[in-house]
Amino acid sequence: MANLQSTFLGIKSPNPFWLASAPPTDKKINVLRAFEAGWGGVVWKTLGSQVKNVSSRYSAMDYNGRRAVGFNNIELISDRPLELNLREIREVLKEFPDRAMVISLMADNDRISWHEMVKKAQDTGAHGLELNFGCPHGMVERGMGASVGQDPEIAKMVVEWVMEVATIPVITKLTPNVHSVVPAGKAVIAAGSNGLSLINTIQSITGINLDTLVPNPNVGGQSVYGGYCGPAVKPIALKMLTTLAQNEQTRLVPLSGIGGISTWKDAVEFILLGASNVQVCTAAMISGFKIITDLCDGMSNWMDEKGYKSIDDFVGLSVPKITKWEALDINYHIIANIDQDKCIHCGLCYVSCEDTSHQSISIARGMPYNTYAIKEDECVGCNLCKIVCPVVDCITMVEQRKGDEFLNWTEFQKRGLPLNDH
């Protein structure tokens, strides 16, 4: 039986699923409901100098009939009194001592403010701190959030201030609003950060109301760039996580994966690419806290099927499979195959290939329907037809190597081989 128990920087929780610092972790009543449902831990919504939020705050991007594929918010850090938050954190810890309690912090940008904030947070008995270097709106204009995370030297300086007084593990949350998260990750580790979490939200505009012409969300006829999250950001989060897991310095500390995790499969993918645990927000906001049951059951069943006894057994196993383009085998070749018994004759494969790809599918017009076949000599194995086909496994890709040996682009050039042979 798989063991979902998780230890991150010495912080123990019954499973690797934490709620990320966000509206779901804003107050005691929310966190208690989450722990009662079975969540392994929370990162309490960011504490700092009290702010005033606006109304409205959220917007979303729908696609092809699915609601909230992407989610946007312009909400700031906690707008509740600091002492109230600290008191409620203490109270939750007494009721659920077996769950991970990490507090997100964003102090004013001076040493004294950070020292005071860290000490107050530690006095609650919390298990760890997460430094919010990622908020992309509102706080940036105050020289905080992403404005810190985008400058490795400033980020390093702030972490050094924190580590002067920190007595519990410190996680630094990185902004994705940069070309690469690696420089900031290296800088904060050099300053003493015990771990990293990513990604925070991505600056975005989800859409415009075509009647009012005001972008969403509408605040009295105006809007601002918001923070984008939800399923749509998962590929970006996975890429940025992997760059940290590949780097010799950043992979030495535990990584907490965040960004579009909605299912147990998403969580497994993050762990396979280097995360030691995961944080969830949007999925809980859309579907409620009880999704934790599906997350835990799904991961546990998969682990049993694969023979993994603990989370640590598969952390980072997919990282070595990400390489550079010039190292890929150019002799590896696949072609599409259409299962005529499963084909519903919609023609999507033909249209996409004929109009935008390699004209590798033939059409035989007839009554009552057309039939389609792959031109094997023309097929380049791009996967487009498989991607657009609405029937699972109707189109599969079959390996047909072009040569017996492994040959990458670097070796291809070194040998001076002619391009037209490939």
On whether the CB atoms of residues 149 and 134 are closer than 8 A, the answer is yes
For residue 422, the model assigns a pLDDT of 45
Q: Please determine, for residue 232, whether its predicted confidence score (pLDDT) is greater than 50.
A: yes
- Selection from 420, 406, 243 nearest residue 324 by Cα: 243
Distance (Å, rounded) from C-alpha 14 to C-alpha 42?
12
How many Å apart are CA 61 and CA 260, to the nearest integer?
Answer: 13
Whole-angstrom CA distances from 264 to 87, 318, 346 are 33, 17, 32
Query: Helix, strand or coil for residue 10?
Result: coil
Question: pLDDT digits over 338-381, tens only?
Answer: 999 999 999 999 999 999 999 999 999 988 899 999 999 999 99
Which of 46-50, 129-133, 237-241 shows the lowest mean pLDDT across its residues?
A: 46-50
pLDDT confidence of residue 144: 52
Residue pair 139/149 in contact by the 8 Å Cβ criterion? no
**Cβ neighbours, 10 Å, residue 321:** 9
Task: Provide the total of helices (H) and of strands (E) in the chain, helices listed first.
Answer: 13, 18
| pLDDT score for 50 | 78
The pLDDT score that the predictor gives to residue 51 is 83
| pLDDT confidence of residue 141 | 47
Percent residues over pLDDT 70 in the chain? 96
Mean pLDDT of 297-316: 98
Q: CB–CB of 4/296 below 8 Å?
A: yes
Phi/psi of residue 251, nearest 5 degrees: -75, -5
Res 127 pLDDT > 50: yes
Q: What are the start-end ranges of the H helices in 273-312?
A: 282-287, 291-306
Q: What is the dihedral of CA 76, 81, 84, 90, to 10 degrees?
A: 50
pLDDT at 138 over 50: no
Cα 152 from Cα 92, distance rounded (Å): 35
pLDDT band at 135 (very low <50, low <70, confident <90, very high): low
Do domains 6-321 and 325-421 share one topology? The answer is no
pLDDT of residue 86: 98
Pick among 3.40.50.300, 3.20.20.70, 3.10.20.600, 3.40.50.720: CATH of 6-321? 3.20.20.70
* Secondary structure letter of residue 13 according to DSSP: E
Q: Are 172 and 133 in contact (CB under 8 A)?
A: yes
Q: What is the mean pLDDT of residues 305-329?
A: 97
pLDDT in tens, 53-80: 889 989 999 998 889 999 999 888 999 9
pLDDT value for 405: 92
Q: What's the pLDDT band for 134 if we cut at 50, 70, 90?
A: low
Q: Which residues contact 300 (CB under 8 A, 6 or more apart)?
A: 1, 2, 4
Summarised one tens digit per residue, pLDDT across range 256-278 is 999 999 999 999 999 999 999 99
Range 192-212 average pLDDT: 96
d(CA 108, CA 280): 27
Question: Confidence class of residue 146 from pLDDT cuts 50, 70 and 90?
Answer: low
- 128 phi, psi to nearest 5 deg: -165, 170
List 135, 343, 349, 353, catalytic entry: 135
Start-to-end Cα distance in the chain: 49
Q: What does the domain layout of the chain look like in residue ranges?
A: 6-321, 325-421
Per-residue pLDDT, 143: 54
Question: Please, which residues bridge with residue 105 across strands?
Answer: 47, 131
Query: What does the alpha-carbon distance between residue 353 and residue 94 come to, in Å, rounded to a whole number?
Result: 61
Domain 325-421 = CATH 3.30.70.20 = yes
- Which pLDDT belongs to residue 411? 92
Q: At what angle do helices 28-37 and 291-306 cross, to 10 degrees?
A: 40
Phi and psi at residue 375, in whole multiples of 5°? Answer: -85, 95
Are 32 and 92 in contact by the 8 Å Cβ rule? The answer is yes
User: Between the CA of residue 310 and those of 10, 14, 35, 183, 394, what are the distances in Å?
Assistant: 16, 12, 22, 31, 36
Q: pLDDT category, 314, cuts 50, 70, 90?
A: very high
Banded model confidence at residue 149, pLDDT cuts 50, 70, 90 = confident
pLDDT at 420: 67
- Residue 157: CB atoms within 10 A of its CB come to 18
Q: Is residue 363 classed as helix, strand or coil in its secondary structure?
A: strand
Other C-beta atoms closer than 10 Å to the C-beta of 100 total: 27
Residue 346 annotated among the catalytic residues of the structure:
no
pLDDT of 335 above 50: yes
Task: Check residues 53 and 180 and name the one with the higher pLDDT.
Answer: 180
